[in-house]
Structure 1
């Protein structure tokens, strides 16, 4: 797994593993190889930005579906 050096704190700390899994799934879908050692310094900004943007779109989609199901 990767070491998270971000200063952001999760509202639900237990969600960290799920977010990491989502990151790996999105990278795989985009054809981007995640380094085994967890060091992202050799990745281009374009690749890491693609992963981040796709994760955000996926999380928004999940939230919208959850809210839509909540109000039915």
Structure 2
């Protein structure tokens, strides 16, 4: 069985493409270049943390909107 480089496993495997897309969108918004080869070892921890933090904020916002019936405030 092939292992993913990340120790994180998705509960909903079909969400992988959407999460990857979000990662690239957030990185672009922050002006951070994601390595084409997928190796993050040469990136600054600050940059990878910023991407992860922004993704988390977006996911929380999406969940809050769904829980509230989709009403934005």
Sort the TM-score into its range (normalised by shorter chain).
Answer: 0.7 to 0.9
Pairwise mapping of residues 32-47 of structure 1 onto structure 2 (< 5 A)?
A: 32-47=32-47
Root mean square deviation, CA, Å: 1.6
Structure 2 gap segments, 5+ residues each: none
Match of 2:50 in 1: 50
Match of 2:18 in 1: 18
Which structure is higher in helix share?
Answer: 1
Larger RCO (CA within 8 A; separation ≥ 6)? 1
Q: Secondary structure in 2 aligned to 1:69?
A: coil
4+ residue runs over 2 A deviation: none
Structure 1 gap segments, 5+ residues each: none
Match of 2:28 in 1: 28
Q: Distance in 1 between matches of 2:6 and 2:25?
A: 20
Q: Distance in 1 between matches of 2:28 and 2:8?
A: 24
